[in-house]
A and B are shown apart, each in its own frame.
Chain A
Amino acid sequence: MTATPLKGSGRTTAGPLADGTATTVRPRRIRRRGRSAPYWFLVPAVLLFAAFTVVPIGYAVWLSLHKVQVKGIGLGKGARQQVWNGIGNYTAVFEDSEFGHSVLRAFGYGLIVIPTMLGLALVFALMLDTPRARSAKFARLAIFLPYAVPGIIAALMWGFLYLPTVSPFYYLLREFHLPQPDLFDGGNLYLSFANIAVWGGTGFNMIVIYTALRSIPQEIYEAARIDGASDLKIALRIKIPIVMPSLVLTFFFSVIATLQVFTEPMALKPLTNGLSSSWSPLMAIYDAAFLRSDIYGASATAVVLALATFALSFTLLRVSDRYTREDRA
């Protein structure tokens, strides 16, 4: 899994201190000692980074280039050997249509979740930011609250609500003789997962956008109002363009999270026949590593997914960078 956010941590602590010590009586010696100080400050971070990011990733890459070779009927001591497999596991990943499908499913899910979630978050944030909004504090809390519910609990709770025989919603549908859709069937599955993610994630994204909105100087609005702009116009012409970097940021996070969707399908899987054990890319990796005990294949898949996520993130960052720069100019 990604631990990329670790990189660069601890980088700023050393600079000012090193400069500060440089002004004492015997400058030359002290400066030399001072020069090594930043590295000492870096040591804890580098050690942790190496131990918990670099080494595990290296080990995963090493595993992904190996496989197990069984001799004969494979019982007893020495029946299994770890042997070099070159890129064998990687070609298997690309030949495995099931993994490709899981990636497509994740994208399909993302196509529903991301626009809905960010759209709602933006609308809520804009509504809360209008001067006429009433009981804004309460509304903000209410929208944010689902984010505080742990993902697994949210998924289980919604799972109950999706099951026809125990769900109060289905009870009402039955009472009023309305159609009762199967929420675990085919395309509805995407909506069911997306609903959980939107329910849980909108609040967080709303707060990010709302915070950006609050930092806009009020004078701009006054000027706009004097020019005769309505609240709607202010929102469309001033607020949205200004909070664009926040929107890009939340979009960026959401895309990565989409590729790594795991909790919802995993928690709902036991409730239905309609969900395969490799529904999402991470589920496929989990399944290979922990149910099929194929650590080697799972490592290769994980490396491929990590590289793809990295490539996607990099491209998105480049695009958004260019966009915001043009915006500024």
Chain B
Amino acid sequence: MSIHRHQFSRRSILAGAAAVGLTGTLAACGGSDDDSGKSSGPVKLTYWSWAPNMDKVAAIWNKKNPDITVTVSKQAAGKDIVSKLITAKKAGNAPDLIQVEYQSLPTLVSNDVLADISKYAKSAKSEFAEGLWGMVTLGTDAVYAIPQDSGPLMFFYREDLFKQHNLTVPTTWDDFAKTARAAKKALPNAYLTTFSSNDPGLFAGLAQQAGAKWWTVGDGGKWTVGIDDAATKKVAEFWGGLVQEGVIENQPMYTPAWNNALNKGTNIAWVSAVWAPGVLVSSAPDTKGKWRMAPLPQWSAGESVTGSWGGSSTGVSTDTKHAEAAAKFAAWLNTDPEALAALVKEVAIYPAATKGQSGSVLTPPAFFPNQTDFYDTAAKIAATTAASAWGPNVQVAYDTFSDAFGKATKAKKAAQFDTALATMQSATFTDMKKQGFKVTEA
């Protein structure tokens, strides 16, 4: 609240309170309750999703399945939906269907928001790569969601500037460091890219590529937190070194300044995921046709492993009275060819289902007219995605990342990157211990 916003009269606050009360009741009316029982009338399902145009895909389903009607309720993305869902669950009115980011699955399962739909959805397993399916089962016999989209990491670079300055497209992280130095020499006002502290998802994906396992469950029924394991340390030290050296920028992503850097060519590459073209269209509109995508640099030459950044799944809540119908919709949405085509066309996602990643469904992104085999390359890269290991308090780890790495990147000190990682580890471990989880440190 800003200093001048607070000087309301008593009356306006009272009126505001009344208005809030009103919307509260209205919102309650929009809930997922369906008192009609099983026999009478169509089943009505509510689907919380933040993806644009998801209602158009649901409309296809509604037309074909008059007995199960799905209504999409647009939500704020990612991290915001988690606390909202936990709160809704406490109130006993969580929606029937939920879009969930992979890293939030354990948190929601731990809060008993997501139902086990293995009874209805086991057959969907064959439609997905093993690593992706592992994320929605959490390594158990249960199935907590159906994978929807995935975000394999890739290396995006300005093809024109790389050619003009004789920069090599890195295949290993050693090369990446060399290219960063060469780029700084060739273009003193520019950087190869930035290390941002405001999106922990990218760092998690890079650690995943290096082989990190941040959360694991041992045989004894105990969590192990290993955020500062050797693999993650390697990643943190690598980027910290480059930031300290001054060849990688330290500014956050998704700011007007960052957009400007991409658009004006003062950031000439971006380690990002398959959805990058959609971001570049709006962040760097003047650079159409100048970018190219390559596989992510590797830790040892000849390897091909990537991590993932983002991606989500469709889950069924424990509050639903129609788990079977909801699971049916979730499976249809993410495996049916017509639904996949609509997801690609209307929602602009990169489908998680293997058959959605090839064929005529995916037309190359208009922003990359110079790379007509964009999605063929992407499918090959996606197949090399390393397994991820998420835990029940990812939010705490992510939150700590932003603060701790924010300080480190600002200071431009490699040693502080190490400290930041240790802070992340201890904050995550302490939080789990405080909540009563059986947990040890790696």
What B residues does A287 contact at CB under 8 A?
399
Q: Sort chain B's interface into a size bin.
A: 35 or more
Does A291 lie at the interface of the complex (its beta carbon under 8 Å from any beta carbon of B)?
Answer: yes
What B residues does A275 contact at CB under 8 A?
406
Does A304 lie at the interface of the complex (its beta carbon under 8 Å from any beta carbon of B)?
Answer: no
What B residues does A75 contact at CB under 8 A?
106, 109-110, 138, 140, 392
Does A126 lie at the interface of the complex (its beta carbon under 8 Å from any beta carbon of B)?
Answer: no
Does B5 lie at the interface of the complex (its beta carbon under 8 Å from any beta carbon of A)?
Answer: yes
Of A73, A164, A262, A287, most buried by chain B (CB within 10 Å of CB) is: A73
Does A192 lie at the interface of the complex (its beta carbon under 8 Å from any beta carbon of B)?
Answer: no
Closest beta carbon of chain B to A149's beta carbon, Å: 10
Closest beta carbon of chain A to B11's beta carbon, Å: 8
Could you give, for residues 116-145 of chain A, a 1 whenever the CB lies within 8 Å of some chain B CB and a 0 otherwise?
010000000000000000000000000000
Asked whether, in the complex, the Cβ of B106 is within 8 Å of the Cβ of A165, the reply is no
Instruction: Identify which of residues 79-113 in chain B touch chain A, using a CB-to-CB cut-off of 8 Å.
Output: 79-80, 82-83, 86, 106-107, 109-112
Q: How far is it, in angstroms, between the C-alpha of A240 and the C-alpha of B112 when the chains are bound?
A: 62
Asked whether, in the complex, the Cβ of B110 is within 8 Å of the Cβ of A80, the reply is yes
Q: Sort chain A's interface into a size bin.
A: 35 or more
Asked whether, in the complex, the Cβ of B406 is within 8 Å of the Cβ of A77, the reply is no
Q: How far is it, in angstroms, between the C-alpha of A164 and the C-alpha of B260 when the chains are bound?
A: 11
Asked whether, in the complex, the Cβ of A270 is within 8 Å of the Cβ of B3, the reply is no
Q: In the complex, which residue of chain A has the Cβ closest to the Cβ of B199?
A: A270
Q: Which of B47-55, B297-305, B339-347, B430-438 contacts A (4 or more CB under 8 A)?
A: B430-438
Q: How far is it, in angstroms, between the C-alpha of A204 and the C-alpha of B8 when the chains are bound?
A: 11
Q: How far is it, in angstroms, between the C-alpha of A6 and the C-alpha of B11 when the chains are bound?
A: 8
Asked whether, in the complex, the Cβ of A270 is within 8 Å of the Cβ of B2, the reply is no
Does B278 lie at the interface of the complex (its beta carbon under 8 Å from any beta carbon of A)?
Answer: no
Could you give, for residues 262-301 of chain A, a 1 whenever the CB lies within 8 Å of some chain B CB and a 0 otherwise?
1110000011111111100010000101111100000000
What B residues does A147 contact at CB under 8 A?
4
Closest beta carbon of chain A to B2's beta carbon, Å: 4
What A residues does B337 contact at CB under 8 A?
none
Q: How far is it, in angstroms, between the C-alpha of A291 and the C-alpha of B395 when the chains are bound?
A: 6
What A residues does B107 contact at CB under 8 A?
293
Among B7, B83, B140, B318, contact of A293 (Cβ-Cβ < 8 Å): B83
Q: Which residues of A contact B (CB under 8 A)?
A: 3, 5-6, 8-9, 45, 48, 51-53, 68-80, 113, 117, 147, 151, 154-155, 159-160, 163-166, 185, 196-197, 200-201, 203-205, 253-254, 256-258, 260-264, 270-278, 282, 287, 289-293
Q: Can you list 11 residue pairs at the A/B interface with Cβ under 8 Å?
A: A9-B10, A48-B17, A75-B109, A163-B256, A166-B260, A200-B2, A263-B2, A264-B2, A274-B406, A277-B402, A293-B82
Q: Which residues of B contact A (CB under 8 A)?
A: 1-11, 13-14, 17-18, 20-21, 79-80, 82-83, 86, 106-107, 109-112, 116, 138, 140, 142, 197-198, 217, 221-223, 250-252, 254-257, 260-261, 266, 318, 392-393, 395-396, 399, 402-403, 405-407, 409-410, 431, 435-438
